[in-house]
Amino acid sequence: MTARPLNPRAALDTRESLLVQDPRTKARNATEKRFRAYGLTAIVVALLALVWLLVSIFGNGLPAFRQTFMTFPVTLDAALLDKGGKRDPADLAKATTFTYGKVLATSLGAEVTAKGIDLGAVQPKDLIKMISEESPATLRNLVLADPSLIGTTIDFTVLASGRIDGYYKGRVTMESAALDKNISPDQLALADRLKTAGVLGMKFNAGFLTMPDASDKRPEAAGLGVAIVGSLYMMFVVLILALPIGVATSVYLEEFAPQNKFTDLIEVNIANLAAVPSIVYGILGLAIFINFAGLPQSAPIVGGLVLTLMTLPRIIIPTRAALKAVPPSIRDAALGVGASRLQTITHHVLPLAMPGILTGTIIGLAQALGETAPLLLIGMVAFVRDFPGAPPDGLFDPAAALPVQIYNWTQRGDPGFVERASGAIIVLLVFLIAMNAVAIYFRRKFERRW
């Protein structure tokens, strides 16, 4: 304290010129610069985190949209597939996927010989290991649906096994294959030769979006079909329940509710519900909808109901804001020409508030679409391969959901599922971006200033 002169001017007097900053000002200006730099750094760090997140997800997930396939002529030998020779469905069903696997392996062997590809050290019986375990089942279903195919030769495209797919995506190397009992380096070398001959190749994987989930050992065949349908069903339930209830609640609170304790109670409730952790809604769903009301587990209806309750406050809050933004003069004018209060609302206020309501609803739906935790508790984690039926009864069938499917895949052992999970996130993000884009479009297009 003693260092500073009592008279501040004493410090100023030492300056030679006004254009030269004294040390104190310099220090203050440096602090100012540093402070600005901190702010800028914080923003850059936040944005870098976003970029890092997206790059990591896209880098891991984009390969899921391309898949290694093998195409070769398959001879459907009647002697193997239809021992009775009568094309009797019961007889045909006796040929198991194992038999079809043999058919595929034989045909692949024939193709290899026909094209003059060197088998190398691969035994002909090990050729089947290069084909996905899912493919015999696909072929079997194809034949069962159309028995006239038996005895003919068809050009059939099969999924390559997960390890070969991983080899072309950089997940599997010759070194790792040497330690892996599911694949050998010789098979990978053969795959390379098949690729040169044009039998094996990579192309867009439409099955990722349409096929159901597959078991632990078959990441190459796992798809999002059931999950997308399940998520759509849930969004449908949320939309038809949450939108009307949310709008009705907002209209009541904003336009009709008297100022009393009861209204206050509702308002406090809504504010609190918006802040309840989502997992608590899962507990509610489990206790009320499944345990008490006996609704089926894993059903989109239960997921939809839980998400509805969760989304309601998120729809009510923007809806009330939209209603509030409609100027009172509109209401006064309508009431003045003799409309009842309800007519005023339905004919004038609601249509004017609609863009705001829709924007809020779409954003609420987008949040519900990405919600995972409550769905885990109501049994959506179950392994579901069958597509649910058509609504409304299909709403009670077991189904998966997009975010839960992602969680499911992260819990599996095969590294191929990491790629699938990241790919599924890309699908989820595409849905979310589309929904938010629609919401922004609505806001821009219909936004009105009074």
Q: Which of residues 241-260 bind another protein (CB under 8 A)?
A: 244-245, 248-249, 251-253, 256-257
Cα–Cα distances (Å) from 27 to 22, 30, 62, in that order, read 9, 5, 51
Nearest distance from residue 19's CB to another protein, in Å?
18
Assigned token pair, 133: 């375990």
Nearer to another protein, 94 or 341 (CB): 341
Q: Which is nearer to another protein, 84 or 392 (CB)?
A: 392
- Spatial distance between the Cα atoms of 430 and 424, rounded to a whole number of angstroms: 10
Buried b / exposed e over 413-439, threshold 16 CB at 10 Å, is ebebbbbbbbbbbbbbeebbeebeeeb
Q: Does 293 participate in binding another protein (rule CB under 8 A)?
A: yes
Interface characters, 166-185, with another protein (x: CB under 8 A): --------------------
CA nearest to 115, candidates 202, 200, 203: 200
Out of 92, 131, 177, 284, the only residue in the binding site for another protein (CB under 8 A) is: 284
Is residue 155 classed exposed, middle or buried when 0-12, 13-18 and 19+ CB atoms within 10 A define those classes?
exposed
Q: Calculate the CA 230 to chain-centre distance.
A: 11
Under rule CB under 8 A, residue 229 binds another protein: no
Indicate the burial class of 228 (C-beta count within 10 angstroms; 0-12, 13-18, 19 or more): buried
**Cα–Cα distance between 101 and 108 in angstroms, integer?**
11
DSSP 8-state assignment for residue 160: B
Q: Which is nearer to another protein, 29 or 196 (CB)?
A: 29
According to CB under 8 A, which one of 292, 328, 337, 338 is a site residue for another protein? 292
Does 144 engage in binding with another protein (CB under 8 A)?
Answer: no
CB of 247 to another protein, least distance (A): 8
Which among 178-186, 204-212, 213-221, 365-373 is the span making contact with another protein, rule CB under 8 A?
365-373
Nearer to another protein, 119 or 266 (CB): 266
Q: How far is the CB of 72 from another protein (least distance, A)?
A: 35
Distance from C-alpha of 210 to C-alpha of 226, rounded to nearest angstrom: 8
Q: Of residues 60-89, which lie at the interface with another protein (CB under 8 A)?
A: 60
Is residue 135 at the binding interface for another protein, with CB under 8 A as the rule? no
For residue 225, give every residue at least 6 positions away whose Cβ sits within 8 Å of its Cβ, in sequence order, or none: 209, 210, 211, 212, 387
351 lies in the site for another protein, by CB under 8 A: no
Cβ-based nearer residue to another protein, 158 or 375: 375
Handedness of CA 430, 433, 436, 437 (dihedral sign): negative
Q: Which of 277, 327, 336, 351 binds another protein (CB under 8 A)?
A: 277
Degrees (nearest 5) of the Cα angle 20, 22, 27?
A: 120
Considering only 47, 114, 174, 178, the residue that binds another protein (CB under 8 A) is 47
Given the complex with another protein, which of 161 and 372 has the nearer CB atom?
A: 372
- What torsion do the CA atoms of 16, 18, 19, 23 make, to the nearest 10 degrees? 70
Note whether 387 and 226 are within 8 A (CB). Answer: yes
Q: How far is the CB of 149 from another protein (least distance, A)?
A: 26
CB of 282 to another protein, least distance (A): 8
Q: Can you read off the two tokens belonging to residue 259? A: 């100022």
Among 372, 399, 400, 416, binds another protein (CB under 8 A): 372
CB nearer another protein, residue 215 or residue 340:
340
Q: Is 21 in the site for another protein (CB under 8 A)?
A: no
57 is a site residue for another protein (CB under 8 A): yes
The minimum distance between CB 106 and another protein, in angstroms, equals 31
Q: CA 102, 105, 106 angle in degrees (round to 5)?
A: 85
Choice from 240, 269, 329, 347 touching another protein (CB under 8 A): 269
Rounded to whole angstroms, the Cα distance separating 230 from 241 reads 17
Among 406, 416, 427, 442, binds another protein (CB under 8 A): 406
Is residue 441 involved in binding another protein (CB under 8 A)?
Answer: no
CB of 426 to another protein, least distance (A): 10
